[in-house]
Amino acid sequence: MSGFEFESLEKTLEKYIPENELTEVKRILFGNPTKNLELHSSAEIVASERDFELQGHAFQSAPEQLRASRRVRVGLIQNRTVLPTDAPILDQISAAHSRIAELVEVAAMCDVNIVCFQETWTMPFAFCTREKEPWSEFAESAEDGPTTRFCQELAKKYNMVIVSPILEREALHNTLWNTAVVISNSGQVLGKTRKNHIPRIGDFNESTYYMEGNTGHKVFQTQFGKIAVNICYGRHHPLNWLMYSMNGAEIIFNPSATVGALSEPMWSIEARNAAIANHCYTCAINRVGTEHFKNEFTSGDGKKAHHDFGHFYGSSYVSAPDGSRSPGLSRTRDGLLVVELDLNMNRQISDKWSFKMTGRYAEYASELAKVVSEDFKPNIVKE
């Protein structure tokens, strides 16, 4: 990756390209323009004091005669880990809680209905080290661990649905999972959903720590719409997105932790393609910053041992079913992205493009069943 401290794609385009051409560039790159969402000036001030970026955008949708618009505000939070990775674990967790409380308070000032944090948000993304300890100690009960209880308080206080992706320890079988806990705006734990696809690539040694999820493609009915959580690497799997959508998801969150050299050119493609292909909203969230580890480790790439995983490039964004997307948060700073969307757009775009009706899913179900059988013969035509 270039050493150039590149803040954001959108800002660079706006800085250099003249207005009339910029409109076309943005149309081609980002689709129908989002509107600027007016946020309370006090929110702007507090965000600035707390040193994080605050952006507000709204997707434009059409009114209908028989349904009132179903406007929802989602909040995407990206943040650096607060304390050094060798600070005492309880201190690291407390510091993460405090930082998130600062961001969620501003989300509440912006009337956010559903907020989602980044993947395993209470800890550094320490799987690169392949050390089991102390990192496994960050794992908590999804149902009543301290982080879930902390989120329940916030949810009740602000009348906000909270998606809280953590490292889960299931005590009964003593297994670890990469899990998102969904907490209702009432403060109740609505349920949990686990990461379905575990990476086997680079320093993402997650398969060393936990297995593919066993919770299928649950969708959570909240007061503000039906939501699902496709955790991190699951965004590379179109069938994963499809199945959340098939179960009725209107908004699919994708809390992630991914680094620049590896995935950045794919980042703006995959969640957006999923919004288009499935007639729903998708929210891609990535952490920011570089996390340093005390013990050196190698990366399976023949290079020298080192102490960090690379730069998490942030760039969290929201995609709409009409192919448009919001601007992204910064590549380098903590941030809260507030996006207002109308859930009615999902059906409107589905009525327009009809991907679900033209999908021929019965035939794919049958074809896919054949593909996975041991005696599958590919359909190859030869001269």
Site for a copy of itself in 191-230 (CB under 8 A): 191, 196-202, 212, 216-221, 226
Name the residue nearer to a copy of itself (CB basis): 127 or 293. 127
As a whole number of angstroms, the distance between CA 353 and CA 356 comes to: 9
Considering only residues 17, 37, 87, 89, which one is a binding residue for a copy of itself as defined by CB under 8 A? Answer: 17
**Closest Cα partner for 338 from 52, 61, 147, 123?**
52
146-158 vs 89-109: helix axis angle to the nearest 10? 10
Sheet holding 161-170: strands in order across?
A: 35-36, 53-58, 335-342, 71-78, 114-116, 161-170, 175-183, 189-194
Interface with a copy of itself includes 300 (CB under 8 A)?
A: no
Considering only residues 233, 281, 309, 317, which one is a binding residue for a copy of itself as defined by CB under 8 A? Answer: 233
Considering only residues 139, 166, 276, 318, which one is a binding residue for a copy of itself as defined by CB under 8 A? Answer: 276
Interface with a copy of itself includes 246 (CB under 8 A)?
A: yes
Q: Does residue 350 contact residue 332 with C-beta atoms inside 8 Å? A: no
Within residues 345-374, the interface with a copy of itself by CB under 8 A covers: 352-355, 357-362, 364-369, 371-372
Q: Give the three-class secondary structure for 293.
A: strand
Rounded to a whole number, what is the distance in angstroms from the first to the last CA of the chain? Answer: 45
Within residues 163-182, the interface with a copy of itself by CB under 8 A covers: 182
As a whole number of angstroms, the distance between CA 205 and CA 335 comes to: 27
Q: Give the total of residues touching a copy of itself (CB under 8 A).
A: 89
Name the residue nearer to a copy of itself (CB basis): 38 or 363. 363
Instruction: State the CB neighbour count (10 A cutoff) for residue 237.
Output: 15
Q: How far is the CB of 122 from a copy of itself (least distance, A)?
A: 23
Within residues 20-39, the interface with a copy of itself by CB under 8 A covers: 20-21, 23-25, 27-32
**Closest Cα partner for 119 from 173, 174, 199, 238?**
199
Q: Provide the 8-state DSSP code for 355.
A: T
Please identify, among the stretches 53-61, 93-101, 121-129, 245-253, the one whose residues bind a copy of itself according to the rule CB under 8 A: 245-253
Within residues 306-335, the interface with a copy of itself by CB under 8 A covers: 323-324
Q: Provide the 8-state DSSP code for 137.
A: G
Instruction: State the CB neighbour count (10 A cutoff) for residue 49.
Output: 10
Considering only residues 263, 282, 316, 330, which one is a binding residue for a copy of itself as defined by CB under 8 A? Answer: 263
Considering only residues 45, 90, 171, 269, which one is a binding residue for a copy of itself as defined by CB under 8 A? Answer: 269
Within residues 54-73, the interface with a copy of itself by CB under 8 A covers: none
> Out of 195, 206, 283, 340, which one is annotated catalytic?
195
**Closest Cα partner for 73 from 63, 62, 59, 61?**
59
Q: How far is the CB of 109 from a copy of itself (least distance, A)?
A: 25
Please identify, among the stretches 91-99, 103-111, 167-175, 271-279, the one whose residues bind a copy of itself according to the rule CB under 8 A: 271-279
Q: Give the three-class secondary structure for 69.
A: coil
Q: How far is the CB of 104 from a copy of itself (least distance, A)?
A: 20
Q: Give the three-class secondary structure for 135.
A: helix
370 is catalytic: no
Name the residue nearer to a copy of itself (CB basis): 109 or 182. 182
Interface with a copy of itself includes 184 (CB under 8 A)?
A: yes
Q: How far is the CB of 38 from a copy of itself (least distance, A)?
A: 25
226 is catalytic: no
Name the residue nearer to a copy of itself (CB basis): 2 or 41. 2
Binding mask 88-127 for a copy of itself (x = CB under 8 A): ----------------------------------------
Vertex 264: Cα angle to 263 and 267 (nearest 5): 90
> Out of 10, 53, 119, 340, which one is annotated catalytic?
119
Burial track 80-113 (b if 16+ CB lie within 10 A, e otherwise): bbbbebeeeeeebbbebbebbebbbbbbbbbbbb
195 is catalytic: yes
